[in-house]
Amino acid sequence: MPELPEVETIRLTILPKLKGRRIISGEVLHEKMVLGISVKEFLERVSGQKITGMERRGKYLLIELAADLIIGLHLRMTGQLTVEKSDSPLAKAIYFRLSLDNGTELRFRDQRKFGKVFLYSRGEPPLALEKIGPEPLSPEFTVAVLKERFGQRSLAVKKALLNQEIIAGIGNIYADESLFYAGIHPARSVNSLTGAEIDGLYHAIQKVLSEGIKLGGTTFRDYRDGEGRAGSYQNKLNVYGQKGKTCPNCGGLIVKMNFGGRGTHFCPLCQK
């Protein structure tokens, strides 16, 4: 699933192609993708609207329209977003398209059909968006904020990092990498972490997410940026997907443990 660095990379590559364009019409071939209203109503409300910007909140992309309307998109497992010439061949599994006023169109390709699209008025975000925790790369997110978000919970730190209501945008890959850099075992409960450990984890999160964006995200299978290009952070991974390989830190073996239904990778020697 695309995480913060992948979704941000898509935003950065798509935004220049959308900003200032007007939506002419659209087509949705998988009706369940559109939440809350009918496909017909969705297309009627966005047609003719000018796109003024595109933001990201956690793993959501938010396309801003002139009439204070916002189109929210969640790519879920296999979603891909591109802007292409309207007359270019359609790849398989494109279930959502918006035609723009310059002969291009926004295409949402989604092999597994889990992706979602919704529409809301600015200032009235759906609950799912409202509940999202702080953006880890925003200036407001400090060590003190992370400490406060963790609070006195007895939740395992890996689960806390994956919880979008505690902190936004982190998924399995960047959670495992952050815990490796911080030298923290994924099963440690957050209320057992020392001040120094939370400080280390804070900086590890900043490092892996920033580097992830710089390298255009991590591609194992489906993820592509808005230009259809793969990312390259997969070449920098220390633990995620590295089961049985040697730890770059200590030379021990990286293990994979099933943890809360998610494969979790770590070095048992470096992460006590």
Catalytic residue list:
2-3, 59, 262
As measured in angstroms, the least distance from the Cβ of 111 to Zn ion is 35
As measured in angstroms, the least distance from the Cβ of 195 to Zn ion is 23
Task: Show the site string, 188-227: x = touches Zn ion by CB under 5 A, - = not.
Answer: ----------------------------------------
175 near Zn ion, judged by CB under 5 A = no
Residue number with the shortest CB distance to Zn ion?
A: 247
Residue 218 bridge partners (DSSP): none
CA distance to 11, 17, 114, per residue, from 100 (Å)? 17, 10, 25
What lies within 8 Å, CB to CB, of 105 at 6+ separation is 83, 84, 85, 86, 97, 98, 99
7 near Zn ion, judged by CB under 5 A = no
270 near Zn ion, judged by CB under 5 A = yes
Interacting positions 77-96 with Zn ion (CB under 5 A)? none
Retrieve residue 94's tokens.
């494109």
Q: Which helix (H) or strand (E) holds 144?
A: helix 143-150
Q: What's the CA gap between 250 and 268, in Å, rounded?
A: 10
As measured in angstroms, the least distance from the Cβ of 179 to Zn ion is 12
Question: Which chain residues interact with Zn ion by CB under 5 A?
Answer: 247, 249-250, 252, 267, 269-270
